[in-house]
Structure 1
Amino acid sequence: MPRCGCALGEVDGTVIGYAYGFARTAAYQWNGLITPAPADLLQESDNRTFALCEVMVRKSWRGTGIARTLHEELLSHRIEDRSHLLVEEEHPSVRALYERWGYTWMGIMQPYPDSPRYDSMLRLIG
């Protein structure tokens, strides 16, 4: 699917991790954004934002740089201008990791009334 992307890490035929996401469309609405943000930051087009859904690495491979390698490989094939992700507020070490990868905090999101609150983060691609 052209709007989706996935990077898969494999060693000797065993999957050790993956990263995936999808391109947002112009119709995307920033529902649940609690923190005010400039209107131009929230405008979407069909190729402005890649939504990073997940980066997952097997426990035995964590701390080896595989997560960042998968992340960078995934983004290297995207045409979008920026990447967006959410990190649960209760995981400041994960937020710090993404900050080291070039993401900046844009605000707090709670997409649904019963969902956790998230740190919403953006990074330019390229």
Structure 2
Amino acid sequence: MTTAPTIELRSFTDLGAARGDLLDVYAEVRAPLLHLPNYAVTSFGERLDRHGHEAGFQAVLAYADGLPVGYAYANRIEHGDRYWQRTTPTPGEEYTARPAAALKEIGVSPTWRGTGTARRIHDALLHGRDEEYVTLMVNAAAGDGKVHALYTSWGYEDLGHSQPSPASPVLTVMIRRSH
């Protein structure tokens, strides 16, 4: 019988306490893409700093032997938030009328992929949040479509498309109930 690898999940609501580890594990997770402007560590750091000061910020990091091996972070978005304004077609009121959790980033080090670590981080991030829905954006081409398929298997459904910045590819916006 196989057991899930031993990881420690730590939750943070203060960006300062987690920022260094988030940058380190991001650089490992996104290593093949770091040459692209949207994926550069400096670009991620700028987004992280902005998101880390928005309402409802929370990060969950997974550690193995004291080193970060995965992460996710989210914040709360309100009705009229630019997240919704950039989504086409315009999402229905059932999703946007109340605050929602926006999963901004999730990633797992290559050696930890396929171990269930991403799902454990995801579920720990959503545990205890009070938003009815959680939304995320995914590059449909990521992993030759495997990342989108993974989110679908977690209960997410396609909602529309968004291009958060000129340097970003067009992303698929997905949504599901938080719990």
Common fold, TM-score beyond 0.5? yes
Q: Note the 1:3-82 alignment, pairs <5 A.
A: 3-29=56-82, 30-38=84-92, 40-41=93-94, 43-45=96-98, 48-82=99-133
How many pairs align?
A: 123
Deviation at 1:73, TM superposition (A): 0.6
Stretch deviating more after TM superposition (57-66 or 17-26): 17-26
1:107 aligns with 2:151: no
Q: Distance in 2 between matches of 1:34 and 1:124?
A: 20
Q: What TM-score results when the alignment is normalised by the length of structure 2? A: 0.62
The letter for the 1-side match of 2:160 is: G
Ranked by relative contact order (alpha carbons within 8 Å, sequence separation 6 or more), the top structure is 1
Over the aligned positions, Cα root-mean-square deviation in angstroms equals 1.9
Q: Which moved more, 1:17-26 or 1:49-58?
A: 17-26
Query: Are 1:84 and 2:135 counterparts?
Result: yes
C-alpha contact (below 8 Å) 1:34/1:110 kept by paired residues: no
What corresponds to 1:125 in structure 2?
178
Asked if structure 2 preserves the Cα contact closer than 8 Å seen for 1:35 and 1:109, the reply is: no
Moved segments of 4+, more than 6 Å = none
Which structure features the higher share of strand residues?
1
| TM-score normalized by the length of structure 1 | 0.85
Separation (CA, whole Å) in 1 of partners of 2:72 and 2:138: 15
Unpaired runs of at least 5, structure 1? none
Q: Secondary structure at the match of 2:150?
A: helix
Q: Following the alignment from structure 1 to structure 2, what is the Cα–Cα distance between the partners of residues 16 and 73?
A: 15
Aligned residues of 1:7 and 1:70 also touching (Cα < 8 A): yes
In structure 2, what is the equivalent of residue 98 of structure 1? 151
Residue identity in the other structure for 1:123: R
Q: Is the partner of 2:125 in helix, strand or coil? A: helix
Larger fraction in helix: 2
Q: Distance in 1 between matches of 2:165 and 2:63?
A: 35
Query: Aligned partners of 2:68, 2:90: CA distance in 1, in Å?
Result: 40
- Provide the rounded CA distance (Å) in 1 between the counterparts of 2:159 and 2:172: 8
Residues 20 and 114 of structure 1, relative CA distance in 2, 3 Å threshold: closer
Question: Contact 1:24 / 1:44 at 8 angstroms: preserved in 2?
Answer: no
Whole-angstrom CA distance in 2 between matches of 1:53 and 1:84: 9
